[in-house]
Amino acid sequence: MITPRIEINLRKIAHNAKTLKNLYGSKGIDIFSVTKVVCGNPKIAEIILKSGIHILADSRIVNIKKLRDAGIQAQFLLLRTIHSQAKDVVNYADISLNSEISIIKELSKFAIKQNTKHKIILMVELGDLREGIMPSDIETTVSEVTELKGVELIGIGTNLACFGGIKPNASKMKHLSSIAKNIEDKFKLKLEFVSGGNSANYDWFMSTKDVGEINNLRLGESIFLGCETLERKPIPGLFTDAFTLIAEVIESKIKPSLPYGDVYQDAFGNTPKFIDRGLIKRILLGVGLQDVLVSGLTPMLDIDILGASSDHIIVDAKQTDLKVGNFVKFKLNYGALLSAMTSPYIIKKYK
């Protein structure tokens, strides 16, 4: 079996999706499954839909288009909306997250041309400082949106713990709930979705007795990697090893631990520093930074990653007896998973 490859255990992903759906459902919260980290992979999407989740969310319209072209029957939500892509957004996404009125107007324009209504969820800024309308501007935006004939406001949402690392705690969630209530009262409309966040909302959910108006979360990482994302703690009952990267030993030799000669820059412009530990067993793996974010890999054997260049990972093989042709398995964090799934050089193998 050829390497480098990523092995994808569909049964474990399905288990995680089902378990999270039931867990969050126990307090009335429905979930969207976010497929961006797996690049809108149709096989994975299919198994998630079979697990009972009905709405798939992705940040990229090309991924949504790929899923539709593969015949995946679901509702699709776009997580990040780009003005110049408005026509495709209306054509391929049922719902999109938005925070700029000029983009919403463009969506409305194309929706009117297509004789449809595009559904939108307005994102509210609550302190993480990525996307979102400032709470003081929400009412103005809602009143502008309700004037537009091509779009329908179906919800509000917020996104935390992505850029600023801000925790979605009880006070943030209460704030979002109060904004939702206020919009419903003031504009006499019903918001179908009050979307409180992402995989980082787990602690809040477990500790709160009252979820308020929050009735939706958008989950990516916790479905795929089985953890929450404030501290990357495993969620009880979930698999954290649905994905495994498999690399192959292409050189195995006893060599010095200290490079010898005049020291200049390495392949990436850094001047490396090493400690002399005498002779060690060094192996090279046939996978590198052009394939995967090597800093996000954890070997499943007792070996140390010394570094990586575009096409190689350099390893201290320690007491292992790894030989040329042997396979080495790694667990992946979110960044490593994102890069491996995006890389055309990594073979995707389904189990």
Ligand X SMILES: *Cc1c(COP(=O)(O)O)cnc(C)c1O
Q: Can residue 218 be called a binding residue for ligand X (CB under 6 A)?
A: yes
Least distance (Å) between residue 222 CB and ligand X:
6
79 binds ligand X (CB under 6 A): yes
> What interhelical angle do 101-113 and 138-147 show, nearest 10?
20
Pick the binder of ligand X from 4, 40, 155, 220 (CB under 6 A): 220
The rounded distance, in Å, linking the Cα atoms of 13 and 8 is 8
Task: State the number of binding residues for ligand X (CB under 6 A).
Answer: 14
Tokens representing 174 are: 């209460």
Q: Please report the sign of the dihedral spanned by the C-alpha atoms of residue 214, residue 215, residue 219, residue 223.
A: positive
**Whole-angstrom distance, CA of residue 335 vs CA of residue 229:** 12
Q: Which of 36, 65, 181, 331 binds ligand X (CB under 6 A)?
A: 36
**Residue 72 or 338 having the CB closest to ligand X:** 338
- Give the whole-angstrom CA distance, residue 196 versus residue 158: 6
- For residue 223, give every residue at least 6 positions away whose Cβ sits within 8 Å of its Cβ, in sequence order, or none: 13, 16, 17, 20, 33, 34, 48
Active-site residue, 113 included: no
Check residue 337 for interaction with ligand X (CB under 6 A).
no
Stretch that binds ligand X, among 5-13, 214-222, 230-238, 266-274 (CB under 6 A): 214-222
Q: Is 35 in the site for ligand X (CB under 6 A)?
A: no
267, with CB counted inside 10 A (0-12, 13-18, 19+), is: middle
Q: Which of 18, 27, 36, 348 is flagged as catalytic?
A: 36
141-180 positions binding ligand X, by CB under 6 A: 159
Q: Which one of 102-110, 220-228, 247-255, 324-332 is the stretch in contact with ligand X (CB under 6 A)?
A: 220-228
Nearer to ligand X, 16 or 222 (CB): 222
CB-nearer residue toward ligand X: 3 or 81 = 81
Cβ atoms of 147 and 156 closer than 8 Å: no
Coil/strand/helix, residue 283: strand
Report, as residue numbers or ranges, the catalytic residues.
36
By CB under 6 A, name the binding residues for ligand X: 34, 36, 59, 79, 97, 159, 198-199, 218-222, 229
